[in-house]
């Protein structure tokens, strides 16, 4: 009887180990920044935001991939840079090995982005609408299709991620809650671009990072 129990326990351990290996078999390709850059919407432009993604990914053991911030920019009378064009073609998995989206179409139509899955680079949850403080506003500067085709002349990107004062940023809700808008990437505009204003509308200057390779 004792030997049978040992065999059963060993089999369970092997199965558990196999499950862990399977879950970790997909390299991380998506995360939310665990910390912002502390200057509101001033991220040092796209270059500074990308460097922040790369830094956090490296600290988490995923620095061998090319990381890009999911951010758009705008140019007056010209086409800006679109977030969807910066992040590769997928698939993307979170730090827990869960599929976020298979490709760009799924990402922008029906992604697996919810509070449970939209974790940081350490696999830790990010505070949402029902937490204190609420930090579910993710900087994106995009429409729901991942572009920056906004029908007005307002600033939606904190002056292309260089302003911590004037302007505004379009944000998404990583927990898919709040104000009747469930968009993960285009829920509403921020109150302003300072750190205080981002916090005042439910954010902390956090943003999404994707592996573009």
Three-class secondary structure assignment of 133-163? CCCCEEECCCCCCCCCCCCCCCCCEHHHHCC
Q: Is residue 163 part of a domain?
A: yes
Q: Is residue 14 part of a domain?
A: no
Contact residues for 11 (Cβ-Cβ < 8 A; gap 6+): none
Token pair for residue 210? 């994707």
Q: Is residue 95 part of a domain?
A: yes
Per residue in 159-175, pLDDT (tens digit) is 999 999 999 999 999 99
Q: What is the pTM of this model?
A: 0.87
Q: What is the CATH number of the domain that holds 36?
A: 3.10.100.10
Q: Is residue 113 part of a domain?
A: yes
Percent of the chain with pLDDT over 90: 80
Q: Where are the alpha helices (DSSP H) in the chain?
A: 2-23, 45-59, 104-109, 158-161, 195-200
* Gap between the Cα atoms of 4 and 150, Å rounded: 66
Q: Is residue 127 part of a domain?
A: yes
Q: Is residue 8 part of a domain?
A: no
* Gap between the Cα atoms of 154 and 20, Å rounded: 47
Residue range of the domain that includes 169: 31-211
Please give the radius of gyration of the chain, using alpha carbons only, rounded to the nearest integer: 19
Residue 130: pLDDT band with limits 50, 70, 90:
very high
Q: Is residue 193 part of a domain?
A: yes
Cβ atoms of residues 52 and 39 within 8 Å: no
Q: Is residue 17 part of a domain?
A: no
* Gap between the Cα atoms of 58 and 65, Å rounded: 9
* Residue 25: predicted pLDDT: 84
Compute the average pLDDT of residues 189-210: 96
DSSP secondary structure letter of residue 27: P
End-to-end CA distance of the chain: 53
What is the number of domains present in the chain? 1
Angle at 137 between CA 135 and CA 143, to 5 degrees: 170
């Amino acid at each position: 009887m004792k030997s049978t129990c040992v065999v059963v326990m060993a089999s369970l351990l092997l199965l558990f180990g196999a499950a862990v290996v399977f879950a970790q078999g997909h390299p991380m390709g998506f995360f939310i920044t665990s910390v912002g850059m502390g200057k509101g919407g001033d991220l040092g432009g796209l270059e500074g935001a990308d460097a922040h993604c790369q830094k956090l990914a490296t600290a988490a053991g995923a620095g061998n991939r090319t990381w890009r911030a999911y951010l758009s920019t705008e140019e007056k009378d010209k086409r800006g840079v679109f977030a969807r064009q910066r992040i590769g073609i997928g698939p993307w998995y979170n730090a827990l090995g869960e599929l976020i989206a298979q490709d760009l179409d799924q990402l922008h139509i029906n992604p697996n982005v919810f509070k449970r899955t939209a974790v940081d680079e350490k696999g830790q949850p990010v505070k949402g609408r029902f937490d204190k403080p609420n930090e579910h506003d993710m900087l994106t500067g995009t429409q729901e299709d991942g572009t920056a085709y906004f029908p007005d002349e307002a600033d939606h990107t904190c002056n292309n991620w260089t302003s911590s004062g004037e302007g505004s940023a379009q944000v998404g809700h990583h927990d898919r809650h709040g104000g009747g808008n469930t968009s993960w990437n285009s829920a509403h505009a921020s109150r302003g671009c300072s750190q205080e204003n981002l916090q005042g509308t439910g954010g902390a200057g956090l943003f999404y990072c994707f592996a573009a390779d």
